[in-house]
Structure 1
Amino acid sequence: MDSIYAYTDYREYLRDFLFEKKKKNPGYSSRCAAEKCGIPSGSFTRILNGTRGIGPSALPKIITWLGLRSREESYFRLLLRFAQCGDSFQKEKIYCELSLFRNQMRHCIPEEKFHFFEQWYYVALYELVKIVPDISDPAELGAMLEPVVSASKVQCAIDVLLNAGFIQKTDNGFTAAGNFLSTGDRWESAAIESFQKSMANLGAEALARFSKDKRDISTLSVSLSEENFREVTKIIREAREKIREIENSEVSPEKVYQINFQVFPLSTKPLEAK
């Protein structure tokens, strides 16, 4: 079954999801699905055939049945708004939002390949081969990384990237299989948590390893409401996308850079304090 981001009709997604359920379990029926969603069987059938919409009370249960989380849920809710919208101008705006979602998720890594993030230099090497596609010697590649990585570790990284399909062997070196890769906002993986810790540690070490003209490290402590915290995280997401746009337009990259974003609480709410 295609990713939810391939759909612009939520009913089509529901029908395909139910079809997949039936393929795996021939005894599974629309009635079973309706029971899972907590709605009458007839109502569920009318939702599928387009004669009835999804009400506010049924929506959370349908999302749970579909197993949607985070951005997938947001995308599904957007599909619902798109279907319900009768104003052509607003419908076009929502369609643009759907397109933005699909563009953002196009290069996301499947969870079964999250071992790509087990070591920081796996990611660094993936980016490095874009700059030096004609170098295949592990020792030479490792010497170009900051900090330097041994030839044996680089060879291991190359094997991981080749086996996962993230890079491909060429006559003289390697080529990346895409412009960029991302986990998206939804992930639950010890490998990614370890990767983020490694990059945070490298960021701290960069204070001593690089002069100020070769790095940009700054901090900001602020007091925010929960609403404005969400606004800040939205700004950071938009900044990430803007940086990706800059990378996509790059014609002569010279180095691999790591850009970290961190926002975390330094206090509790007064009522949460013990």
Structure 2
Amino acid sequence: MKPITEYQDYRLYMQDYYDEKKRLSAFSWREFSHAAGFSSPTYLKLVCEGKTRLSPAGATNVGSAMNLAGFELKYFERMVDYGHAKTDHEKKMAYESMLELAKNNKAKIVDGEAFRYFESWVHPVVRELAPAMHGATPGDIAKRCCQGVTAGEVRESLDFMVKTGLLKKNGSDYEQSDKHLKGSSEVMPVALRSMHREMADFAKEAIDKFPPSERNFTGLTMGVSAEDYKLILKELEACRKRIAQIALQSKAVERVYRLNLQFFPLTWGEDKDEEGR
């Protein structure tokens, strides 16, 4: 089997464990369930099929039945917490606990680096700002950030991005690499939504924090069809790419800006009634 830190879905890990045991012996769901202390012979089969779930105590018992111990058992328990989380905050907390366990035991989680990068505004801002500030200390970089960040947090961000290859260090200077982090797992939207919430809050603050000459806010309220909605998304994406090219060709970085492209509904669709919301 793959190392446990390559899993984010505890049900998939249990199923792979069962399949591997079944391949090597006359293992059964009855035997698996009995080893974990369940009286129903098909209980864990139903768990893997998503028809029922594990309690915290059940997670510990199942982990032990799979011969997990130490950090691997704790990791499995956190996977169960993650799988049962109902909100982005709960999912984020559980996943961060999984990341910390893996880090402390020198293990690597699939998409873990991408999650860390996208979950906070600090990394993208520091990645843009550090190369433009030759010889700057983490404290110098922190002072240039409009939002509150400490020198220690900037230092951690710099170390993280050098380690992951997003920045290259040359003496006391930094330069951006061509590497980009992309996550493909289901946890990535959790990190991205976290950053979008932060950036949306910063945008709201910017209305009063900066004069109109230093920020731009415009908007349209419009009625469109589903077909026109798709066409507008294509225009927004094309615009975003053109703006990215302007930034890439910029001769100097004087400030770091954030562009939020926000296009969202203000009414329900015709198929939504008052009780169906």
TM interval, shorter chain, is 0.5 to 0.7
1:78-135 per-residue CA deviation (whole Å, 9 max, x = no partner) reads: xxxxxxxxxxxxxxxxxxxxxxxxxxxxxxxx94432211210111000112322x23
Q: Percent identity?
A: 22
Question: What residue identity is the alignment partner of 2:221?
Answer: S
Find the aligned partners of 1:137 and 1:130 in 2 and give their Cα distance. Answer: 12
SS at match of 1:189: helix
- Find the residue that maps to 2:175 and give its secondary structure: strand
Q: Is the 8 A contact 1:131 1:255 kept in 2?
A: no
CA distance 1:116–1:168, shift in 2 (3 Å): same
CA distance in 2, matches of 1:240, 1:215: 17
Q: Deviations over 1:244-268 (max 9, x none)?
A: 1111221122111100011111111
- Tell me the residue number matched to 2:205: 205
Map of 1:131 onto structure 2: 132
Where in structure 2 are the equivalents of 1:79-228 lying within 5 Å? 111-114=111-114, 115-132=116-133, 134-178=134-178, 181=180, 188-228=188-228
Q: CA deviation at 1:182?
A: 7.2
8 A Cα contact 1:168 1:176, kept in partner: yes
Question: 1:232 maps to which residue?
Answer: 232
User: Hey, what's the Cα distance between the residues in 2 that align with 1:150 and 1:214?
Assistant: 24
| Aligned-residue offset at 1:185 | 11
Where relative contact order (Cα < 8 A, 6+ residues apart) is larger, the structure is 1
For this pair of structures, how many residues does the alignment match? 165
Q: 1:199 to 1:183 in 2, by over 3 A?
A: farther
Q: CA RMSD in A?
A: 2.5
Q: Which amino acid aligns with 1:196?
A: H
Over residues 182-225 of structure 1, what are the superposed CA-to-partner deviations in whole Å (9 max), with x where a residue is unaligned? 75999743111101111111111101110110000122111010
How far did residue 270 of structure 1 move? 2.3
Unmatched runs of 5 consecutive residues or more in structure 2: 1-109
Distance 1:152 1:228 in 2: 47
TM-score, normalization: structure 1?
A: 0.55
Q: Name 2:23's counterpart in structure 1.
A: none
**What letter corresponds to residue 270 of structure 1 in structure 2?**
E
SS at 2:168 equivalent: strand
Q: Aligned AA for 2:227?
A: E
Q: Contact 1:136/1:174 (CA < 8 Å) preserved in 2?
A: no
8 Å contact from structure 1 (residues 142, 151) kept in 2:
yes
Are the counterparts in 1 of residues 113 and 181 from structure 2 also a CA contact under 8 Å?
Answer: no
Name the aligned partner's letter for residue 158 of structure 2: I
Contact 2:166/2:177, CA 8 A, preserved across alignment: yes
Q: Is the 8 A contact 2:131 2:173 kept in 1?
A: no
| TM superposition shift of 1:165 | 1.2
How high is the TM-score relative to the length of structure 2?
0.54
Q: Following superposition of structure 1 onto structure 2, how do residues 237-256 of structure 1 map, counting pairs within 5 Å?
A: 237-256=237-256
Secondary structure of the residue that 1:270 maps to in structure 2? coil
Tell me how far 1:234 sits from its aligned partner.
0.6
Measure, in 1, the Cα distance between the counterparts of 2:271 and 2:190: 32
Aligned mates of 1:164, 1:261 — CA distance in 2 = 28
Matched residue type, 1:266? L
